[in-house]
């Protein structure tokens, strides 16, 4: 990854540099899972760093979920996510545009996935205690009357609050070089951004390429707009298969694509940078717009934030979409789009469909960014999610049948689990629901009803005995159905 | 109007009853414009009410904008809106469904109508000082941490906050008898409600009946959804012409209607109750859904709130839409739909297009309603708007050319002004814009570009010398162009 595109700058503490160095060596395979690391004293002798610095580095690595202490024995390397289980196999979908019809079951699954009475392994929300809701709210408590008057009694600019757009333009500097305040349109969450962008680039009857599997919501938007979804094969490590995409573009009149190149939902991969460049060039050359959902982009487990496709776009054909629903607040509904050459159309659709997003919510996020709280918060959140995802994967490896396969996400909070071919994710979903556990059956991630024997497990909750119990219950259900 | 449908119950003070009685007599024409009312002492002798009561009644009538005091002479009846100028003539539009194409000018007009640097006679916002922004905000300042946590860290129910829906169901009791919490879907303002409802009842290529003239936003939504608008002739006093509608329905395959029966925008009329019943029966019999925009329904100048079409719907085919953008806050973006039998479809479109509306905003409105502030606020707001509309109409009558015609709205804040046939509203708009005055040219209210010599004037601002200057400037522009 290019350092020029690094989004985050850490303070230059020695223990952090040491921790980075050790983590890199673990990632490169220099230290293997289960291996004991040098003792503190030995590393002190070896490196010249003080005892305190070495100790702090190990504590930091423990926080990052990379090493674990064993009593009276020292620090050991934890298994890397990638080594826990093999990756799922992806289906090669038939390259035929499909009229999507999500059955009525989808709505009841969505309800289950947001039911607080259930153990949530279904919805992709982060647990409330990991979100800085009191800090977010602080500027509201001390708001001036004149500010309040503006916020309540006026329509916001249809493109969004200027201060918030300025903060967003500043933030994206690290990874989208040409972003400007004027190209940003604030939306009610990422979904509205994607929906407005899709309306801007395509019409009824048009064919839209999506990854297979894909985020179910995209299929529902495509269905609502009476378009066709064309699913293209995806590699679980590197993302959409360019050769399959090329063929699909040759055989079909494709109007646009919707891709999630960073921490794909449900696969969790980051598309390698060289592949991103190749993908954007391929689509730029054919003048095909691509809607990029980067909602999990800030939730990287590695050191640097991956760059989006948008960074390599030469023609303004990448419509970038994101939101703060996974990182700060789902309830505030603040997302945004950077729609490239489709800016005016997206602004128009936003204006016509709801005039503008509410001002208060944009003010809250804008102040949080302005006060510099976001990066600090993200560091804490990323470490928590990394641990949650790893612990969930370990538990699945431990309790599920031996032929289970699982993704190794490099960010985000989702695991994609492949089960025995005889199994049906919907049956597992229904049995789990009876026991107050919400999961997502994999078939929702495709209009072709592939992925019957897949389930999606989300890891928004801190690891707990209750979750372990939930995984054990799921394992029992699976074994019972086999 | 039936008393059973009265939405507002006033305290039973004697002076108010006396004021009501006098106002009724003025409305009925018992007292004419300019006529002197009985002196306080004489009315005291005549009615047996105390001097104080009679005095309070006259003050109340003055507040309501019905009478005016003249120094050392007593109280005089002010001219009724309906008597100021004759009503505009309506065009009989060609009964052909039209592909709407609002030109790019529309966006710049919308920008001018929300530009705070201009004298706003264009946008239909109420001036900030008439909105209770501090009172709205009070519950936010004292919010509990656990409440805050829910508001910030969770997705709201896609149908909307339960407490707010409960308040809305309670409020609509007076004028929509069968409203239930479960039929309500909270939206980002009335426009989103109308847009979601239209998507629920019609598809690309379908024909939608609208009033002529109509609210420009409806035409834009119809255009965005690639539907056709069929404009039907409207009487400026009683609303859509049923005979023209019947013919239009016979000749065309009409999929749905969008109507504003209460305080029509731009015409300001209330459709009489008997006509509402006839209209709903006509559409019910043909199974044609009607989207009803009731956004100005609470802003009646008369004593009772007019009932909506929804009250007479027997088949669940009226999709009721409204919002608090004109009465409490445009910036909070809280509206709602009661979509009858289309409920599940509207909920689905809401879910898929933005998951849910933000919780914070719904909480603010819900608390305001719960604490009983809304009716008190509305009384003050209605009186202010009534005065503003009357004063604007009087000024137009005084300064504009003699052949000007003008509507006599019974609520809301809009005047529709017909000018000499030689004039072009767009030219007036452009000249006015140069002088920092925003108005809306009438051509936007029709896809057929009728109403070339019409302009819409909105009365959201309290009467002031600045506004009078603005009207004088407009009159000069008009005389210059003649």
- Label each residue of chain A as H, E or C: CCHHHCCCCCCCCHHHHHHHHHHHHHHCCCCCCCCECCCHHHHHHHHCCCHHHHHHHHHHHHHCCCEEEECCCEEEECCCHHHHCCCCCCCCCCCCCEECCCCCHHHHHHHHHCCCCCEECCCCCCCHHHCCHHHHHHHHHCCCHHHHHHHHHCCCCCCCCHHHHHHHHHHHHHCCCCCCHHHCEEECHHHHHHHHHHHHHCCCCCEEEEEECCCHHHHHHHHHCCCEEEEEEEECCCEECHHHHHHHHHHCCEEEEEECCECCCCCCCECCHHHHHHHHHHHHHCCCCEEEECCCCCCECCCCCCCCHHHHCCCCCEEEEEECCCCCCCCCCCEEEECHHHHHHHHHHHHHHHCCCCHHHHHHHHHHHHCCHHHHHHHHHHHHHHHHHHHHHHHHHHHCCCCCEECCCCECCEEEEECCCCCCHHHHHHHHHHCCEECEEHHHHCCCCCCCCEEEEECCCCCCHHHHHHHHHHHHHHHHHC
Is B224 close to A353, i.e. CB distance below 8 A? Answer: yes
Lowest-pLDDT choice from A123-137, B176-190, B414-428: B176-190
Give how far B245 is from chain A: nearest CA, Å.
Answer: 27
Residue A211: burial class (beta carbons within 10 Å; 0-12, 13-18, 19+): buried
The verdict on a CB contact (< 8 Å) between B149 and A128 is yes
Residue A401 has pLDDT above 80, yes or no: yes
In the structure, what pLDDT confidence band is assigned to residue A71 with cuts at 50, 70 and 90? Answer: confident
The Cα–Cα gap between A193 and A185 comes to 8
| Percent above pLDDT 70 for chain B | 93
Across A86-113, average pLDDT: 69
- Contact of A97 with A210, CB cutoff 8 Å: no
How close B298 comes to chain A (CA, Å)? 18
**A441 at interface of B, judged by CB pairs closer than 8 A:** no
Given a cut of 80, is residue A476 above it in pLDDT? Answer: yes
Mean pLDDT of A426-452: 92
Cβ pair A156, A362 in contact under 8 A: yes
B45 CB-near residues (< 8 Å, 6+ apart): none
**Residue in chain B nearest A123 by alpha carbon:** B155
> Distances in Å between the alpha carbon of A79 and those of A27, A339, B167?
10, 40, 54
User: Can you tell me the ipTM of this complex?
Assistant: 0.84
- What is the Cα–Cα distance from A23 to A37, expressed in whole angstroms? 11
Contact B332 A358 (CB under 8 A): yes
Give which of B205, B333, B356, B381 to mutate to test A binding, by max A Cβ within 10 Å.
Answer: B333
Mean pLDDT of A317-321: 97
Section A10-23 average pLDDT: 77
In chain A, what is the straight-line distance between the N-terminal and C-terminal CA atoms, in Å?
A: 43
Q: Do B358 and A204 touch (CB under 8 A)?
A: no
| Interface residue A293 vs chain B (CB under 8 A) | no
The answer to whether the Cβ–Cβ distance between B133 and A152 falls below 8 Å is yes
pLDDT grade for A2, boundaries at 50, 70 and 90: very low
* Yes or no, beta carbons of B152 and A332 under 8 Å apart: yes
Work out the pLDDT band at A3, boundaries 50, 70, 90.
very low
Higher pLDDT, A297 or B102: A297
Q: Which of A123, A136, A352 sits opposite B220 (nearest CB)?
A: A352
What is the sign, positive or negative, of the torsion defined by CA atoms of A7, A11, A17, A22? negative
Nearest CA in chain B to A137: B148
Counting beta carbons within 10 angstroms of the beta carbon of residue B198, is it exposed (0 to 12), middle (13 to 18) or buried (19 or more)? buried
A362 or A32: which leads in pLDDT = A362
- Tens digit of pLDDT for each residue in B328-367? 999 999 999 999 999 999 999 999 999 999 999 999 999 9
Q: Residue B351 is nearest to which of A110, A331, A333, comparing CB atoms? A: A110
Q: Would you call B103 an interface residue with chain A, using a CB distance cutoff of 8 Å? A: no
Q: Does residue B335 contact residue B193 with C-beta atoms inside 8 Å? A: yes
How many Cα atoms occupy the beta-carbon half-sphere of B295 within 13 Å? 30
Instruction: Name the pLDDT band for A6 (thresholds 50, 70, 90).
Output: very low
- pLDDT value at residue A8: 40
Which residues are CB-neighbours of A40 under 8 A, at least 6 positions away? A51, A54, A55, A58, A74
State the first-to-last Cα distance of chain B, in angstroms, to the nearest integer: 43
**Which residues 219-248 in chain B show a CB within 8 A of chain A?**
220-221, 224, 226
With vertex at residue A228, the alpha carbon angle to CA A222 and CA A231, rounded to the nearest 5 degrees, is: 95
CA–CA separation, B474 and B468 (whole Å): 10
d(CA A270, CA B426): 53
> Closest Cα to residue A148, out of B129, B144, B146?
B129
Output the pLDDT for position B101.
59
Return the structure tokens found at A69: 């202490």
Q: What is the average pLDDT value for chain A, to the nearest integer?
A: 89
Angle at CA of residue A118, ends A117 and A124, nearest 5°:
115
Q: How far apart are CA A306 and CA A262, in angstroms?
A: 7
| Percent of residues, chain A, with pLDDT higher than 70 | 93
Give the DSSP letter of residue B3: G
pLDDT in tens, B376-385: 999 999 999 9
Q: Is A151 on the interface with B (CB under 8 A)?
A: yes
Residue B106 vs residues A158, A178, B112, B226, B293: alpha-carbon distances, Å: 14, 29, 10, 18, 21
Report the distance separating Cα A228 and Cα B382, nearest Å.
50
- Please state which of the ranges A40-44, B20-24, B399-403 shows the lowest mean pLDDT: B20-24
Phi, psi of B165, rounded to the nearest 5 degrees: -65, -35
Percent with pLDDT over 90 in chain A: 66
pLDDT at B8: 40
Rounded to 10 degrees, what is the CA torsion of A423, A424, A427, A428? 60
Question: Are the C-beta atoms of residues B323 and B193 closer than 8 Å to each other?
Answer: yes
Using the predicted structure, report yes or no on whether residue B375 has a pLDDT greater than 80.
yes
Cα A385 from chain centroid (whole Å): 11
Task: Please tell me the distance from the alpha carbon of residue B392 to that of residue B475, in angstroms, as a whole number.
Answer: 13
Greater pLDDT, B7 or B390:
B390
Gyration radius (Cα) of chain A, Å: 23
Neighbours of B36 (CB within 10 A): 13
Q: Evaluate whether A347 touches A374 at the Cβ level (below 8 Å).
A: no
Chain B nearest CA to A328, separation (Å):
8
| pLDDT for B416 beyond 80 | yes
The pLDDT, as a whole number, for residue B5 is 34
> Which domains are present in chain A?
14-77 (1.10.10.10), 144-373 (3.40.640.10)
Kindly report which listed range (A119-123, A169-173, B240-244) carries the lowest average pLDDT score: A169-173
- Predicted confidence (pLDDT) at residue B6 exceeds the cutoff of 60: no
- The answer to whether A406 contacts chain B (CB < 8 Å) is no
Q: How far is CA B15 from CA A148, B59, B450, in A?
A: 37, 10, 48
Residue B125 has pLDDT above 70, yes or no: yes
- Percentage of chain B lying above the pLDDT 90 cut: 66
B125 to A349: CB separation less than 8 angstroms, yes or no: no
Mean pLDDT of chain B: 89
Q: Do residues A94 and A238 touch, judged by C-beta distance below 8 A?
A: no
Tell me the per-residue pLDDT of A221-236, one tens digit each, with 9 for 90 and over.
999 999 999 999 999 8
What pLDDT sits at residue A445?
92
The answer to whether B133 contacts A148, with C-beta atoms less than 8 Å apart, is: yes
The residue behind tokens 């602004």 is A347
The mean pLDDT value for A27-41 works out to: 81
Contact A204 B226 (CB under 8 A): yes
pLDDT of residue B313: 95
Cis peptide preceding B266, ω within 30 of 0: yes
Compute how many other C-beta atoms are within 10 angstroms of the C-beta atom of residue A309: 25
Contact call for residues A31 and A37 (beta carbons, < 8 A): yes
List the 182-201 stretch of A: residues with Cβ below 8 A of B: 187-189, 191-192, 195, 199
Chain A contact set for B161 (CB, 8 A): none
Least confident of A24-33, A387-396, B19-28, B255-264: A24-33
- Report how many Cβ contacts below 8 Å link chain A to chain B: 176
CA–CA distance, A216 with A472 (Å, rounded to integer)? 27
Q: Per-residue confidence at B100, pLDDT binned at 50, 70, 90?
A: low
User: Which of the four pLDDT bands, split at 50, 70 and 90, describes residue A5?
Assistant: very low
Give the residue among B148, B153, B157 at the shortest CA–CA distance from A329.
B153
- Chain A residues whose CB is inside 8 A of the B191 CB are 352-355
CB contact under 8 A, B192 and A136: no
Which residues of B fall within a CB distance of 8 Å from A150?
A: 331
Residue A409: per-residue pLDDT: 93
pLDDT of residue A124: 85
Condensed to tens digits (0 to 9), the pLDDT of residues B310-332 reads 999 999 999 999 999 999 999 99
B203 touches chain A (CB under 8 A): yes
Candidate from A156, A220, A226 with C-beta closest to B331: A156
pLDDT score, position A451: 92
pLDDT higher than 70, residue B178: no
- Model pLDDT for residues A142-158, shown as the tens digit of each residue: 999 999 999 999 989 99
The upper half-sphere exposure of residue A5, i.e. CA atoms within 13 Å in the direction of its Cβ, equals 17
pTM of the predicted structure, to 2 decimals? 0.86
Are the beta carbons of A240 and A273 closer than 8 angstroms? no
* Alpha carbons B292 and B287: distance in angstroms, whole number: 15
pLDDT of amino acid B104? 63
Query: What are residue A403's phi and psi, to 5 degrees?
Result: -85, 10
Give the mean pLDDT of A15-41.
82
Distance CA(B17)–CA(B10), nearest Å, equals 10
Out of A154, A203, A226, closest to residue B331 by CB: A154
Residue reference for tokens 């906050």: B161
Cβ B117 vs Cβ B436: under 8 Å: yes
- pLDDT at residue B2 is higher than 50: no
Residue B115 pLDDT class (50, 70, 90 cuts): confident
Which residues, 6+ apart, have CB-to-CB distance to B81 below 8 Å? B301, B389, B390, B393, B408, B409
The confidence band for B4, taking pLDDT boundaries of 50, 70 and 90, is very low
Q: What is the pLDDT of residue B433?
A: 93
| Pairwise CB contact (< 8 Å): B136 & A152 | yes
Q: Which residue is listed with tokens 């009465």? A: B327
How many angstroms separate the Cα of B273 from the Cα of each of B1, B265, B286? 7, 18, 20
State both tokens at B34: 């300019």
Residues 6+ apart with CB under 8 A from B100: B219, B220, B222, B223, B228, B229, B447
For residue B74, give the H/E element and its range: strand B74-77
User: By the CB < 8 Å criterion, does B159 face chain A?
Assistant: no
């Amino acid at each position: 990854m290019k350092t020029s595109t690094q989004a985050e700058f850490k303070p230059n503490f020695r223990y952090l540099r040491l921790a980075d160095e050790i983590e890199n060596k673990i990632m490169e395979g220099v230290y293997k899972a289960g291996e004991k690391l040098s003792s503190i004293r030995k590393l002190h002798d070896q490196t010249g760093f003080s005892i305190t610095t070495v100790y702090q580095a190990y504590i930091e690595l423990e926080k990052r979920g990379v090493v674990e202490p064993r009593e009276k024995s020292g620090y050991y390397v934890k298994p890397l996510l990638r080594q826990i289980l093999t990756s799922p196999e992806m289906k090669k979908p038939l390259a035929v545009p499909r009229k999507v019809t999500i059955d009525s079951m989808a709505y009841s699954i969505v309800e289950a996935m947001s039911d607080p009475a259930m153990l949530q392994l279904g919805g992709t929300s982060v647990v409330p205690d990991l979100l800085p809701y009191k800090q977010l709210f602080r500027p509201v408590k001390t708001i001036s009357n004149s500010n309040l008057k503006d916020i309540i009694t006026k329509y916001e600019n249809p493109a969004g609050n200027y201060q918030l757009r300025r903060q967003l333009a500043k933030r994206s500097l690290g990874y989208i070089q040409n972003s400007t305040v004027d190209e940003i349109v604030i939306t009610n969450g990422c979904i509205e951004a994607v929906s407005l962008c899709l309306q801007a680039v395509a019409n009824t009857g048009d064919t839209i390429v999506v990854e297979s599997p894909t985020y179910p919501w995209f299929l529902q938007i495509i269905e609502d707009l009476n378009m066709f979804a064309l699913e293209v094969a995806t590699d679980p490590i590197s993302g959409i298969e360019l050769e399959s995409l090329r063929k699909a573009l040759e055989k079909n009149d494709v109007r646009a694509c919707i891709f999630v190149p960073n921490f794909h939902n449900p696969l969790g991969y980051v598309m390698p940078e060289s592949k991103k460049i190749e993908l954007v060039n391929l689509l730029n050359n054919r003048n095909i717009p691509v809607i990029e959902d980067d909602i999990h982009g800030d939730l990287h487990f590695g050191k640097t934030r991956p760059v989006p496709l948008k960074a390599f776009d030469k023609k303004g054909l990448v419509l970038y979409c994101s939101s703060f629903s996974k990182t700060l607040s789902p309830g505030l509904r603040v997302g945004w789009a950077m729609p490239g050459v489709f800016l005016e159309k997206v602004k128009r659709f936003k204006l016509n469909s709801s005039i503008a997003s509410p001002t208060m919510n944009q003010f809250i996020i804008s102040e949080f960014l302005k006060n510099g709280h976001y990066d600090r918060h993200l560091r804490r959140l990323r470490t928590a999610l990394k641990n949650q995802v790893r612990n969930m994967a370990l538990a699945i490896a431990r309790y599920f049948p031996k032929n289970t396969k699982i993704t190794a996400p490099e960010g985000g909070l989702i695991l994609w689990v492949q089960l025995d071919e005889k199994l049906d994710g919907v049956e597992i979903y229904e049995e789990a629901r009876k026991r107050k556990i919400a999961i997502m059956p994999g078939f929702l991630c495709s209009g072709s009803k592939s992925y019957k024997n897949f389930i999606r497990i989300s890891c928004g909750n801190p690891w707990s005995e209750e979750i372990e119990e939930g995984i054990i219950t799921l394992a029992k259900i699976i074994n019972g159905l086999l």
